[in-house]
Amino acid sequence: MNPKELVCTVCPNSCNVTVERNGKGEAVKVTGNRCPRGEAFAKQEVTCPMRVITSTVLLRGEDGREALLPVRSSEAFALSKHARTMELLRHMTVRAPVKMGDIVVRNVLDTGVDIIASCDS
């Protein structure tokens, strides 16, 4: 077995969780969690870590001025796709006006997750 120790971030308990993995890296036993969500988190974390991404994109105002618009993913997606997503966002320009929750990028990198505006502009 190949154990991995994690701190669960699903709830405020912050359980110290140990995941035992088989030779293929699959979770076979989870200990230390105080709720079922901790077990699900630990299994997900060792197979395909998921995170919400937050960043900014260039915003071009109606007056031609440029600023930064805060954006985030609508939900967590594979951490392995975050670097490519950040590169995509780095080269984007969005035109004002934008409302909080507007979709800036639909289905980013075929993840099924959208990048949305975090505030009004």
Region 93-112: what's the mean pLDDT? 97
Picking from 54, 33, 57, the residue whose alpha carbon sits closest to that of residue 44 is 33
Q: Per CATH, is 54-117 categorized as 1.10.3720.10?
A: no
CB neighbour list of residue 70: distance below 8 Å, 6 or more residues apart? 54, 55, 56, 117, 118, 119
pTM across the whole model: 0.83
Q: Do residues 59 and 97 lie in contact, with contact meaning Cβ atoms separated by under 8 Å? A: no
**pLDDT tens digits, residue range 41-88?**
999 998 899 999 999 999 999 888 999 999 999 999 999 999 999 999
Q: What are the sequence ranges of the domains in the chain? A: 4-47, 54-117
Picking from 84, 83, 60, 72, the residue whose alpha carbon sits closest to that of residue 113 is 72
